[in-house]
Structures are given as C-alpha cells and as structure tokens.
Amino acid sequence: MTESDLRITETFSASCGQAERPLRADAQRNRERVIEAARAAFAESDSVPLEHIAREAGVGIGTLYRNFPNRESLLEAVYAAELISVTTNAEDLLARYAPEQALRAWMARYAEFIAAKRGLLPALKAGSPTGRRTNTRERIVAAIDTIAAAGVSSGVFRSDVDSDDIATLLQGAFFSTTRDDGPDRVARLLDLIVDALLTGEQ
Amino acid sequence: MTESDLRITETFSASCGQAERPLRADAQRNRERVIEAARAAFAESDSVPLEHIAREAGVGIGTLYRNFPNRESLLEAVYAAELISVTTNAEDLLARYAPEQALRAWMARYAEFIAAKRGLLPALKAGSPTGRRTNTRERIVAAIDTIAAAGVSSGVFRSDVDSDDIATLLQGAFFSTTRDDGPDRVARLLDLIVDALLTGEQ
DNA sequence: GAGGCAACCGGAGGTTCCTCCAGTGCACCT
DNA sequence: AGGTGCACTGGAGGAACCTCCGGTTGCCTC
C-alpha cells in the first residue's frame, strides 16, 4: 500500500472525470505530497489539524484547501484505494454466495471498514461535495444494486426497494452509532436492514 | 409557547435528575436568560455563534458553556418542551390506531419535527452527553418501546427486536438524509424500517 | 448583621477552521 | 530563448470554538 495504491487512485480519478484538464506539474506534485502527509497524519488520529498536514507536506494551507475543500474530501482521497476495493467486490461475493448471504457479507465488510475509519463517514453522505470527482457514493450504491438485483430476480428480495435507499439506511446505521457501540450492535442493525428487503417467500 | 413551556421544562428537569442540588438564584436566572436568547437566535438560524447568544443574554461566554457544554445541549434545552410532547403521545396513538399504524404515525410526527429542527439531531444520538439530564434519548426509546410492545403482543411485530435498535435506525435515517432530500425520501426509509419489524403473519 | 466558603461569573487567549488575494512561476507560443 | 497569461501558491487574518482561572457574590451560620 503505497505505490500501487496511488496508481489506482490516479487511474480512477483520471477515468471518471469528464475530460478535466490535467493539473499543472507542480500542482500535481503538491497534491500528492499532501495526500501522503495526510496518510501519515491520519494514521495517528483523524482529527489532526489540517494546518499541521500542510506544514508537514511543505505546502501552504491555502494549497491544501484548494485541492481538498474540506477534511472529508482529503480523507476520501487518502482512502480512495481501500474504498474502491470495498465497493468492487460485489460480483465476487455473488459468485460465491446466494444473494442474501452476499449482501450480508458485503455489508459486514463495509461495516468493518467504516468502523476502522469513522472519519470517512461524512464524506460518504449523499450529496456531499467532494473535491475532484471521486464518486464513492455512487460506487457504493452500484455495489448494493448489483447484489440487490440478483436477489430480486432470484425472488428473495423485494423488487420495490431502491438501492439508494438501502445505502442511505446503511450509512445511517453507522452515523447513529458510536465507536464504542460494539460490532454486535452494528451487526444487529444490518440484519434489520436485510430483513426489510426479504420477500418472506421461499 | 413561552411561559408554560418553560414551566414544563423546569418541572421535567427537576423531576428526573437524581436529587441535583438546585442552582443558585443568579445562576438559575442566567440559565433562563441564555435559553431565552437562544430561542430567539435559533429561530433565525441554527448556526448562530454561541458568543452572540451569550452577549444577547447579557452573560459571559463562560457562563453559557458551563450550563450547556455544547451547542446540542443548548438546542435540546430550547426545544425541550416540543421534544417532550413528541415523545409523549405514544399512548394516545395506540388508543386510536392499531400498533403498526400507530408506529407509522409516531415516526412520521417525529420525522416532521426533526425535519424542522435538524440541528437537534446530534443531541439525540445515543450516548451524547447533554448538560443537565434531559434524557430525551431515553424518552424516545421508551415511546417506541410502548408501541412496539403493543405490536408484539398483537402479533404484528417481531418479538426479537430491541426498541433501542429501532430508535438508532430511525435516527440514522435522519442523519444520512439532507434537508433538501424531500419528505417522500424520508417516508420511504421509515416504511423500510417498519417493514423490518413486521412478522409477515396476518 | 457580619463573616466565610463555595458556587458562580466573565472574558482573555489559545486553537482550529477557512477565505481571500497579491504575487510567483509553469506551460505554451513565437 | 524570451515573453505572456493564467494556473497555482502561501500565509495573513477574521471568525468561531472552548478552556481556564482570578475575581465576585449568593447563601448559610453564628
């Protein structure tokens, strides 16, 4: 997790923006420095002053804020690679499990990730404006949608539920839960959400 | 809503704390001034600087913070009366409706209130330390529990769901929803939550 | 009343956030 | 190579948060 992660990030943000002109060389360099400094700093605590990160990166605070308009978008950039890997394994799970179990597994994995990185939560909220398009929200909804669709066509999931609503409910469960709430608490909430989707037939 | 509301607040916070010694006369006066100034200020916007409220109340910022350790607890104090009335009508609803409909109605009412006062949300989070015990959280859980219990014994609700979890899921739905998300969005989420509680039988 | 002791007051000051804009230097053209 | 425009820089500074503690004052006792 250093070289390769950055490359993934690069590729991704390059591939999804709509022809955004590339950053100037120095700007790109600064941006990466900030991300790297942030990665190191966030490893200690999620609440490091942004000024500290800027200083550590050898960059003015203004530069940091131009690249990452708020703390969340910086966090999102730092964990982009992990976020992508979490949101990408929906097909894998579907290949191995039945839809219901796949959804549970996916949610559990996501929950585990969020539990470790609670600071990311606000960035994943619907409609939160992040810096350069890293539309994590959309990817999450897409992942859920993949699994949900499979469940619908196999008859275990209701067909009248929007994946976006599931994502929202899911994140809500994280939001209204504290670090010291214990994973079993979250697990119960996730189970409730899945229960809401089941048709009851079969 | 002025005189009588305040009296309710008073009575309540006096009746639920465990023999907390009464405030000194001047302190009590200051506390009320702050609440009154806050009520006026919050009517304009939820994000008024607390310093402004303190000044308006003719009180030092230190005094404000001693009484209300954070913005949320001040908000909670200001809306205590409304909060109580929302959390109190569970029995009324049960008297008029079947448990399922009562729960839906209760949730809808609560949602409506929260929609108007989104700033209150953090104060209602489980385990958020408020100033002088105004245990709104517990009251909400109790209200849900009342309705849920009725539903369980009439067989429409599952018996293996904790009311506290329902409350958490409910607030999560508010948390991960934005002001401009439209009430239908929230309504769908609430329906999902209720769906999760139904036994499916009859 | 007077005296004493908490309880309570207030605001100065340290932190962090975030904006704004005069200046700098990269990239592109001739 | 030299010139020009504009993308990008950086930090000063205003706003808000919250803490901390020397000073004040209500309340109880004698």
On strand C, nucleotides with any atom < 7 Å from a protein CB are: 7-13, 15-21, 25-27
| CA B2 remoteness from chain centre | 18
Q: What is the pLDDT of residues B6-65, one digit of tens each?
A: 333 443 444 444 457 889 999 999 999 999 999 999 999 999 999 999 999 999 999 999
Is B124 within a domain?
yes
Residue B168 pLDDT: 97
Is A159 within a domain?
yes
B49 strand D contact, CB < 7 Å: yes
Residue A155 has pLDDT above 70, yes or no: yes
Q: Closest approach of chain A CAs to the CA of B189, in angstroms?
A: 7
On strand D, nucleotides with any atom < 7 Å from a protein CB are: 7-13, 15-21, 25-27
Nearest C-alpha in A relative to B185: A165
Is A64 within a domain?
yes
Is A202 within a domain?
no
Nearest C-alpha in B relative to A188: B165
Residue B134's pLDDT band, with cuts at 50, 70 and 90, is confident
B182 at A interface, C-beta within 8 A: no
A25 strand D contact, CB < 7 Å: no
Closest CA to A197 of A109, A108, A100: A100
Q: Which residues contact B175 (CB under 8 A, 6 or more apart)?
A: A172, A175, A176, B121
Sign of CA dihedral B75, B77, B80, B83: positive
Q: What is the pLDDT of residues A63-93, one digit of tens each?
A: 999 999 999 999 999 999 999 999 999 999 9
Q: Whole-model pTM?
A: 0.88
Question: Which of chain A's residues have a Cβ under 8 Å away from the Cβ of B176?
Answer: 125-126, 168-169, 171-172, 175
Residue B133's pLDDT band, with cuts at 50, 70 and 90, is low
Residue A130 pLDDT: 57
Range of the domain at B16: 3-197
Question: Which of chain A's residues have a Cβ under 8 Å away from the Cβ of B127?
Answer: 178, 180-181
**What DSSP assignment string belongs to B1-14?**
--HHHHHHHHHHHH
Q: What is the pLDDT of residues A26-40, one digit of tens each?
A: 999 999 999 999 999
Residue B19 pLDDT: 55
Residue A188 has pLDDT above 50, yes or no: yes
Residue B132 pLDDT: 54
Burial of residue A98 (number of CB atoms within 10 Å: 0-12, 13-18, 19+): middle
Is A124 within a domain?
yes
Contact map slice: A 155-174 vs B, CB within 8 A: 161-162, 165-166, 168-169, 171-174
Residue A5 pLDDT: 40
Chain-chain contact of A189 with B171 (C-beta, under 8 angstroms): no
Mean pLDDT of A133-155: 93
Nearest C-alpha in B relative to A180: B127
Cα A34 to Cα A59: distance, rounded to the nearest angstrom:
8
Is B170 within a domain?
yes
B69 strand D contact, CB < 7 Å: yes
Question: Which of chain B's residues have a Cβ under 8 Å away from the Cβ of A180?
Answer: 127
Question: Which of chain B's residues have a Cβ under 8 Å away from the Cβ of A127?
Answer: 178, 180-181
Chain-chain contact of B165 with A200 (C-beta, under 8 angstroms): no
Cα A114 to Cα B106: distance, rounded to the nearest angstrom:
31
Q: What is the pLDDT of residues B109-123, one digit of tens each?
A: 999 999 999 999 998
| Domains: count for chain A | 1
User: At B45, is the secondary structure helix, strand, or coil?
Assistant: coil
Residue A139 has pLDDT above 80, yes or no: yes
A49 strand C contact, CB < 7 Å: yes
Q: Closest approach of chain B CAs to the CA of A176, in angstroms?
A: 5
**CATH code of residue B64:** 1.10.357.10
Is B146 within a domain?
yes
Output the average pLDDT for chain A. 89
Q: Beta partners for A198? A: A157
Cα B76 to Cα A115: distance, rounded to the nearest angstrom:
28
Residue A102 has pLDDT above 50, yes or no: yes
Q: Are A108 and A64 in contact (CB under 8 A)?
A: no
B25 strand D contact, CB < 7 Å: yes
Is B202 within a domain?
no
Mean pLDDT of B131-142: 80
